[in-house]
């Protein structure tokens, strides 16, 4: 492709991102300092290459999925954000610890990019410091798992009766050992098998069956409102796809490391995703928007925020 046709394509895409209506040859002829006829010829060749299409006769042109893909990849590696933005990002995230950093990161990335953002975390297999048990009045037991990373998880189990404080303290003591989160179900099963008290057995069985709540994949989303302001939000399939990706993001462990771009996949949705390792586990940050996404800004923000979370 000639340099001028690359310029025609890039300028047309940027015009369409700013204003989603077909772009005419006249709009591009002046900034490119060529005639409208020359631009129309370039349009025709770019159409043959599958990079432009004409919505209807006598209309201007709009970019295709292939054009957006080529355009988006021009911004990898991303440009560094301005120093003031980076300092503000670092200062904000330095005030919070643990998983709260991922919640704040989603909010910051959405504000900086102008799109919806979801951060996800697949916690690493952390060592357990303690398992704390408290009897509630309705036949349930509250369990708080304290991990070596400082992260805590709590959940309740229903055993249908109120165990004594002595029983729970003995269980806490038995569960206080050098063990990782993933190995605890084996420990619980072993103690359950050897237990002679029915109440003790009930508590241990309930803890074992609910232990999956201790290390689930976590996700935090922000910025659905800006997406509703996009013209594409009138498309029900587009909205459904965005909400689905926000509510059910892919597990970070299933993503290849580094930058991942998905253009118009699915239903007019594009995503910029960074997968990376943090001190808490394998993580990801995804910026979601229409195919008309401002890729340069989105890619730079995704890189900067994920770097701050490492």
Residue 183's contacts (CB-CB under 8 Å, 6 or more residues apart) are none
Q: What share of the chain is helix, strand, coil (3-state, %, to 5)?
A: 50, 20, 30
- CA 287/CA 276 separation, integer angstroms: 15
Q: What pLDDT, on a 0 to 100 scale, did the predictor assign at position 190? A: 93
Residue 134 neighbours by CB distance under 10 Å: 14
- Model pLDDT for residues 200-239, shown as the tens digit of each residue: 999 999 999 999 888 778 899 999 998 889 999 999 999 9
Q: For residue 98, what pLDDT band results from cuts at 50, 70 and 90?
A: confident
Q: What pLDDT, on a 0 to 100 scale, did the predictor assign at position 123? A: 79
Token pair 């000639």: residue = 2
Kindly list the domain boundaries of the chain, sorted by start residue. 3-73, 83-124+216-309, 128-213
Q: What pLDDT, on a 0 to 100 scale, did the predictor assign at position 141? A: 95
- Phi and psi for 198 in degrees, rounded to 5? -60, -40
Q: For residue 149, what pLDDT band results from cuts at 50, 70 and 90?
A: low
Residue 69's contacts (CB-CB under 8 Å, 6 or more residues apart) are 261, 263
The CATH number that domain 83-124+216-309 falls under is 3.30.450.40
SS3 state of residue 226 = helix
Average pLDDT over residues 182-188: 90
Q: 3-73, what's its fold?
A: Arc Repressor Mutant, subunit A (1.10.10)
Q: What pLDDT, on a 0 to 100 scale, did the predictor assign at position 256? A: 81
Average pLDDT over residues 240-261: 88
- Model pLDDT for residues 51-64, shown as the tens digit of each residue: 999 988 778 999 99
Average pLDDT over residues 247-270: 87
- CA 92/CA 105 separation, integer angstroms: 9
Q: What pLDDT, on a 0 to 100 scale, did the predictor assign at position 23? A: 96
C-alpha of 182 from chain center: 24
Average pLDDT over residues 84-91: 94
Tokens of 28: 């591009």
SS3 state of residue 111 = helix
Q: What pLDDT, on a 0 to 100 scale, did the predictor assign at position 100? A: 92
Q: 128-213, what's its fold?
A: Enolase-like; domain 1 (3.30.390)
Phi-psi region of 13 (alpha: psi -120 to 50; beta: other; left: phi over 0): alpha
């Amino acid at each position: 492709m000639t340099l001028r046709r690359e310029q025609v394509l890039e300028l047309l895409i940027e015009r369409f991102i700013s204003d989603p209506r077909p772009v005419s040859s006249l709009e591009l002829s002046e900034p490119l300092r060529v005639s409208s006829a020359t631009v129309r010829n370039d349009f025709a060749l770019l159409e043959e290459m599958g990079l432009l299409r004409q919505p209807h006769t006598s209309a201007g042109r709009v970019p295709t999925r292939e054009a957006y893909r080529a355009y988006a990849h021009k911004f990898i590696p991303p440009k560094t954000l301005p120093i003031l933005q980076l300092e503000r990002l670092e200062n904000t995230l330095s005030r919070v610890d643990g998983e709260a950093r991922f919640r704040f990161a989603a909010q910051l990335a959405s504000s900086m990019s102008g799109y919806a953002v979801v951060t996800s975390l697949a916690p690493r297999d952390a060592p357990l410091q303690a398992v704390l048990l408290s009897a509630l009045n309705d036949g349930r037991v509250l369990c708080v798992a304290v991990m070596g990373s400082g992260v805590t998880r709590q959940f309740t189990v229903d055993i249908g009766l109120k165990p004594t404080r002595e029983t729970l303290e003995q269980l806490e003591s038995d569960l206080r050992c050098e063990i990782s989160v993933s190995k605890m179900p084996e420990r619980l099963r072993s103690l359950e098998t050897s237990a002679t008290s029915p109440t003790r057995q009930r508590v241990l069985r309930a803890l074992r069956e609910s232990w999956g709540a201790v290390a689930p994949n976590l996700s935090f989303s922000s910025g659905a409102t800006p997406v509703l302001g996009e013209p594409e939000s009138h498309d029900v399939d587009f909205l459904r796809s965005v909400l689905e990706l926000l509510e059910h993001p892919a597990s970070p462990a299933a993503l290849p490391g580094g930058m991942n771009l998905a253009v118009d996949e699915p239903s007019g949705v594009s995503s910029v995703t960074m997968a990376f390792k943090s001190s808490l586990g394998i993580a990801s940050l995804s910026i979601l928007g229409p195919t008309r996404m401002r890729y340069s800004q989105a890619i730079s923000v995704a890189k900067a925020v994920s770097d701050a979370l490492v």
